[in-house]
């Protein structure tokens, strides 16, 4: 690039960044102004009058504040005491349910600090051991395990109430010496095989992965495709460079952390200072950094304002939030190098336990992706864009026989994706309910919709529907403004990170490792700010010796005055004003970090081309004519080849409604029909059947006339032709099919199919014949 072009380009980038920063700051100011005006005027609260504020009510309010203050600080003391007690026990999973240990991976040939738990059903819940088991993998992202079963209304609770056996992948605080992420993956492979062994008469276990556990579930499913059932991935970052650099949307600050900190070297430094162990409290600090209003004020004020009811809930949550776990240096470096900064998982650059590269396209079971538009830790782009990176085109998804279902929540935050009882009751209940149905879908990319409807009894019920989308439409929907061009500077981040990592390893690491030992590492961990704020407010602190008896006395004598509500309203408004100020600070801070990131790395990218093995699927993606894609050419080359299996798949697509949402009731009806008329359908493994359906859909989509004309070639054996026509006759006479009004396109397709096959007046119903393997023609 010549200097003039480079200068022009840099000027354009600077103007775009400045304009976006201006909009961010303007929007942040507007939001703060609106909240501040509402807090001061109290438009949404009761009307206050001067006569309500007299000396007697002021005194009673002061007493109330003093009492609540004592009880509040005693709540923090209880939190600290519990933290110390749990630290001495080594921390246990924060599970709401009892469990038995099935496998302890510390005893494996390659030991890791993971354990497989069998969840015990609560009283009154019956488990059917022949139902599909669920294997839930919790995130190892600083906290301890248990978030997937944190309360009764949780993923574990939903699966148990459905009668399914539930298994939980947990882990201990201390990693085993030398364990790596690949060792962990190998252990999880043994876990899923054990679950299959315990349930030989059940379908393959569904694997549910939360956050970091999501990409662990994907690695498990791709490395052990023969053992895993459907994969449910919740709030999991898979395409790490993605985010929302869009006008009108808040930035995702975690996205820029790697670049602003210089890459992966800081995680290596932290592990070296920890004598080879990385402290998970550092990751939790990153989460708390994201929302200063909640971290510094809101969650504490909520306890203070509701001191009679909130302490128990607060301590329960802090029991999980304040459990800080450790990783080996090898583990955190693998994560930061390959995922957070390198973004290498989807591209096949990461090798699995067997030495073979992880290829997520080896997954042959449906994948359900769940993310939230309100999640600023794992934005929906990170949860979904990897599909475009990996497959590149809708046609490849179909040709590989893959089913991918995407579901989004409108506003819940990252923790709410896993913790919210409302999310468990609605989204997870429906996901688990339709899992069997999703397995019957034809290959493709689907959007799942869940609508609230009132049932006959007036209670809220859920109407679930699925609609198929093209991959290109989904990418444009989630990346409307810049079409992922804002991901390119992360190539510069990866290159800078690699340089800094090598410099640290060469010049600093030997001295840091020499100066570190277990005593210094323990001291750093104990005095980490998050740990310090807990044990410092505990019975270890002699200055708090009087707090417990004073709090007991306050509880015994506490009486709330009814006439202090005006003062409480002023207090709430002041709290809201402070919270709005902290949110405004966050908006300014994050907008500045975003602008600085692109000012640095967008220009660095222009100085040198940092290549990437596959530019977001562009190599395989959108050519001018999808017919030129290799998967389409290969399918069209076999248009007249195959047998009964291919004929049924092609016929099913030709008769299917096009471009309409599929209500769950319609899909379940199709599943019922498939079970009832199984003798007339191909007897194939589900993955093979989906692959054939995807291939035949490509044929019928790009060559509809030839697909119809060559249908008799697939049914050259008269018995096969009669068998298919018999199936069509039975379906046309079935009351469930008659209850569905066919479209004009479906009627025409049925007439054409019967005409091209001859449609004899009466047909025999021969027994099912074994499938004859087909020889595939090479691509043209």
The answer to the question of residue 606 being in a domain is no
> Is residue 171 included in any domain, yes or no?
yes
Q: What is the pLDDT of residue 54?
A: 84
683-692 pLDDT, tens digit per residue, is 899 999 999 9
Indicate whether 686 belongs to any domain.
yes
Helix axes 744-757, 644-655, angle to 10 degrees: 150
Segment (H or E) for 256: helix 253-260
Least confident of 77-86, 142-151, 344-353, 650-659: 344-353
Report the percentage of the chain scoring pLDDT > 90. 59
Q: What share of the chain is helix, strand, coil (3-state, %, to 5)?
A: 55, 10, 35
pLDDT, tens digit, for every residue of 225-248?
899 999 999 999 888 888 865 555
Whether 746 shows a pLDDT value over 60: the answer reads yes
pLDDT for 415 beyond 90: no
DSSP string, 283-294: HHHHHHHH-HHI
Relative to beta strand 444-454, strand 326-328 is unpaired
Burial class (CB in 10 A: 0-12, 13-18, 19+), 659: exposed
Answer with the one of 467, 485, 503 that is the final residue of a domain. 485
Is residue 348 predicted with pLDDT exceeding 90?
no
Helix (H) or strand (E) holding 710: none
Assign 50 a pLDDT band (cuts: 50, 70, 90).
confident
User: What is the average pLDDT across 267-293?
Assistant: 95
The answer on pLDDT for 315 being more than 70 is yes
At residue 494 the predicted structure's pLDDT band, cuts being 50, 70 and 90, is very high
Residue 352: per-residue pLDDT: 74
pLDDT score, position 1: 58
475 belongs to a structural domain: yes
More confident of the two residues 549 and 452: 549
* The residue count for the chain: 780
> What's the pTM?
0.90
Average pLDDT over residues 699-710: 93
SS3 call for 261: coil
To which H or E segment does residue 531 belong? helix 529-535
The predicted structure's pLDDT at residue 779? 32
For residues 661 and 186, what is the distance between their CA atoms, to the nearest angstrom? 40
Contact between 629 and 393 (Cβ < 8 Å): yes
Say how many domains are in the chain: 2
User: Comparing 156 with 603, which gets the higher pLDDT?
Assistant: 156
Q: Which residues on neighbouring strands pair with residue 454, listed in sequence order?
A: 460
Q: Is residue 384 part of a domain?
A: yes
How many CB atoms are located within 10 Å of the residue 554 CB? 17
Angle at 494 between CA 491 and CA 495, to 5 degrees: 90
Query: pLDDT band at residue 624, thresholds of 50, 70 and 90?
Result: low
Mean of the pLDDT values across residues 367-378?
90
Give me the domain span that covers residue 751.
626-757
Return the pLDDT at 593: 92
- Give the largest CA-CA distance in the chain: 99
What pLDDT shows up at residue 612? Answer: 43
Quick one: average pLDDT of 94-98? 91
Phi, psi of 151 (to 5 degrees): -150, 175
* Pair 251, 244: CB distance under 8 Å: yes
Q: Would you state the pLDDT for residue 91?
A: 67
pLDDT-based confidence at residue 392 (cuts at 50, 70, 90): confident
> Tell me, what's the pLDDT at 743?
86
Mean pLDDT, the chain, integer? 88
In the prediction, which pLDDT does 619 show? 40
Q: What is the CATH number of the domain that holds 171?
A: 3.40.50.1820
> pLDDT value at position 245?
58
Rounded to 5 degrees, what angle do the CA atoms 599, 248, 448 make? Answer: 115
Average pLDDT of the residues in 564-591:
93
CB count in 10 Å sphere of residue 96: 17
Per DSSP, 176 falls in state P
The position carrying tokens 């709540």 is 75
Is-contact 451 433, C-beta < 8 A? no
Query: Residue 406: is its pLDDT beyond 80?
Result: yes
pLDDT at 623: 46
| Residue 706: inside a domain | yes
Structure tokens, 42: 């109290």
Report whether pLDDT(639) > 70.
Answer: yes
Q: What is the mean pLDDT of residues 255-280?
A: 94
pLDDT of 620 > 60? The answer is: no
Within a domain: 119: yes
Residues 129-180 pLDDT 10s: 999 999 999 999 888 898 899 889 999 999 999 999 999 999 999 999 999 9
Q: How far apart are CA 312 and CA 323, in angstroms?
A: 17
Q: What is the mean pLDDT of residues 261-285?
A: 95
The residue among 426, 457, 485 that closes a domain is 485
The pLDDT > 70 percentage for the chain reads 92
The answer as to whether 301 is a domain residue is no
In this model, does residue 777 exceed pLDDT 50?
no
End of a domain among 453, 468, 485?
Answer: 485
Residue of 104 and 461 predicted with greater confidence? 104
- The pLDDT assigned to 615 comes to 44
The answer, yes or no, to whether residue 478 has pLDDT greater than 80, is yes
């Amino acid at each position: 690039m010549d200097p003039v072009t480079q200068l022009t380009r840099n000027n354009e980038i600077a103007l775009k960044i400045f304009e976006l920063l201006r909009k961010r700051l303007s929007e942040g100011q507007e939001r703060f102004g609106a909240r501040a005006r509402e807090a001061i005027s109290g438009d949404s609260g009761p009307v206050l009058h001067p006569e309500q504020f007299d000396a007697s009510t002021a005194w009673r309010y002061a007493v109330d504040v003093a009492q609540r203050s004592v009880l509040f600080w005693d709540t923090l003391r209880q939190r600290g005491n519990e933290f110390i007690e749990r630290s001495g026990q080594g921390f246990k999973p924060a599970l709401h349910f009892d469990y038995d240990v099935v496998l302890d991976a510390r005893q494996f040939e390659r030991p890791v600090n993971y354990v497989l738990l069998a969840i015990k059903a609560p009283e009154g819940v019956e488990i059917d051991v022949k139902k599909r088991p669920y294997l839930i993998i919790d995130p190892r992202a600083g906290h301890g395990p248990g978030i997937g079963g944190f309360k009764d209304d949780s993923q574990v609770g939903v699966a148990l109430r459905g009668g399914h056996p539930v298994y939980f992948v947990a882990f201990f605080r201390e990693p085993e010496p030398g364990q790596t992420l690949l060792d962990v993956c190998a252990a999880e492979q043994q876990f899923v095989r054990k679950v299959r062994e315990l349930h030989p008469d059940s379908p393959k276990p569904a694997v549910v992965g939360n956050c970091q556990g999501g990409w662990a579930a994907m690695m498990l499913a791709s490395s052990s495709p023969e053992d895993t059932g459907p994969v449910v991935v919740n709030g999991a970052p898979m395409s790490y460079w993605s985010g929302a650099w869009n006008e009108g949307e808040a930035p995702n600050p975690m996205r820029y952390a790697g670049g602003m900190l210089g890459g992966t070297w800081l995680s290596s430094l932290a592990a070296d200072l920890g004598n080879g162990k990385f402290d998970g409290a550092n990751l939790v600090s990153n989460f708390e950094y994201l929302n200063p209003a909640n971290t510094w004020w809101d969650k504490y004020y909520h306890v203070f304002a509701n001191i009679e009811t909130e302490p128990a809930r607060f301590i329960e949550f802090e029991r999980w939030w304040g459990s800080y776990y450790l990783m080996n240096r090898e583990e955190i470096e693998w994560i930061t190098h390959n995922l957070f900064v390198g973004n290498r998982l989807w591209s096949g650059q990461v090798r699995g336990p067997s030495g073979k590269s992880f290829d997520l396209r080896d997954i042959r079971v449906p994948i359900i992706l769940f993310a939230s538009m309100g999640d600023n830790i794992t934005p929906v782009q990170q949860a979904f864009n990897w599909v475009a990176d990996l497959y590149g085109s809708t046609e490849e998804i179909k040709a590989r026989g893959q089913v991918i279902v995407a579901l989004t929540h409108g506003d819940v935050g990252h923790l709410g994706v896993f913790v919210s009882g409302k999310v468990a009751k609605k989204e997870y209940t429906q996901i688990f309910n339709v899992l069997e149905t999703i397995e019957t879908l034809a290959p493709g990319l689907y959007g799942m919709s869940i609508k609230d409807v009132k049932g006959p009894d007036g209670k809220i019920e859920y109407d679930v529907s699925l609609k198929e989308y093209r991959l290109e439409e989904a990418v444009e929907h989630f990346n409307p403004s810049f079409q992922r061009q804002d991901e390119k500077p992360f190539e510069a981040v990866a290159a800078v990170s690699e340089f800094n990592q090598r410099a640290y390893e060469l010049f600093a690491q030997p001295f840091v490792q020499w100066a570190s030992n277990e005593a210094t590492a323990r001291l750093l961990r104990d005095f980490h700010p998050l740990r310090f704020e807990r044990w410092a407010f505990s019975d270890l602190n002699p200055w708090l010796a009087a707090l417990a008896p004073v709090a007991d006395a306050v509880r015994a004598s506490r009486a709330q005055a009814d006439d202090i509500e005006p003062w409480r309203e002023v207090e709430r408004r002041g709290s809201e004003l402070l919270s709005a100020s902290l949110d405004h600070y966050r908006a300014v801070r994050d907008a500045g970090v975003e602008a600085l990131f692109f000012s640095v790395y967008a220009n660095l990218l222009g100085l040198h081309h940092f290549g990437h093995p596959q530019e977001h699927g562009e190599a395989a993606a959108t050519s001018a004519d999808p017919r030129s894609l290799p998967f389409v050419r290969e399918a069209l080359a076999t248009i007249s080849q195959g047998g009964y299996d291919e004929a049924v798949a092609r016929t099913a697509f030709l008769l299917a409604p096009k471009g309409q949402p599929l209500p769950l009731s319609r899909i379940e009806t199709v599943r019922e029909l498939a079970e009832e008329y199984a003798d007339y359908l191909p007897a194939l493994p589900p993955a093979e059947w989906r692959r054939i359906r995807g291939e035949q859909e490509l044929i019928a989509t790009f060559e509809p006339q030839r697909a119809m004309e060559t249908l008799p070639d697939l049914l050259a054996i008269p018995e096969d032709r009669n068998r298919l026509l018999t199936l069509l006759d039975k379906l046309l006479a079935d009351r469930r099919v008659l209850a569905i009004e066919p479209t004009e396109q479906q009627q025409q397709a049925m007439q054409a199919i019967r005409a091209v096959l001859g449609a004899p007046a009466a047909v025999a119903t021969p027994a099912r014949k074994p499938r004859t393997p087909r020889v595939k023609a090479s691509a043209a």
